[in-house]
Amino acid sequence: MNDLIKPAAAEFLGAFFIVFAASGAIMVDVITGGVLGQVGTSVVFGLSVALMILLFGSISGGHFNPAISLVMLAVRGMPTMRLLVYLAVQLAGGLTAAIILLNLLGDIARLGTPLPNLEIATVADVSATILIIALEFVFAAMFIAVVLTFSKGIFLKGPLAAFSVGSAVALVAFVGGPITGAALNPARYLGTAVISGSFDYIVTYLSAIVFGAFAGALIFRLIVDKAD
């Protein structure tokens, strides 16, 4: 268990900073009347992930996201005890970041909790639930396929992994942010949702992310993986 102390600390800090920066960017954008804009907030999303991979990737593997850790258990054989520790500290990091944001900036924009754009759902003539399931599933699948492509074992580390995964996050945030909020990371979603009390679509978001993540793992295994 002692050999998990540093990786656990790294996963906590990484998840904390990503949620603090990404959700904080959404809140600051609202407070300032759109100074950051969609491009700015998307860049913050991507850079926060890239920087945390550069900083902590060699220590913990640079997951900071329960969906990544779950896939690493299934695809790369990550030990179950490590998974449980990672899930606990990732979620704790997200909750801690949300609590600090609430106390620093106030109850702004539901602390950046992702929500579906009901106007877009109406124009597309689909329910908000279908919109979330379709887009978050696709986003998660694409993201996890990138993660597995640029990981070594259970580790994401080095500039190439940081740039690739960070770019994938920024792209998802840029495209999906105005539509579903681009949740992508259950630690980010749960942290802000629990503290802000935004539970309306919690099962839909989490189900779409997790099932999408495993679909991405299947895409990687069948099409991208050169192990065979």
Instruction: Supply 104's token pair.
Output: 């620093």
- What lies within 8 Å, CB to CB, of 191 at 6+ separation is 19, 23, 91, 93, 94, 95, 96, 97, 98
In Å, the largest CA–CA distance within the chain is 54
**pTM across the whole model:** 0.95
Nearest to 56 by CA among 3, 114, 116, 14: 14
List of domains in the chain? 2-224 (1.20.1080.10)
Q: For 36-46, what is each residue's pLDDT tens digit?
A: 999 999 999 99
The whole-number pLDDT of residue 153 equals 95
Number of CB atoms found within 10 A of residue 157's CB: 20
Quick: pLDDT tens for 109-137.
Answer: 999 999 999 999 888 889 999 999 999 99
Residue 148 near residue 224, CB atoms below 8 Å: yes
Residue 228 pLDDT level (bands cut at 50, 70, 90) = low
How sure is the predictor about 90, in pLDDT bands with cuts at 50, 70 and 90?
very high
Mean pLDDT along residues 148-170: 97
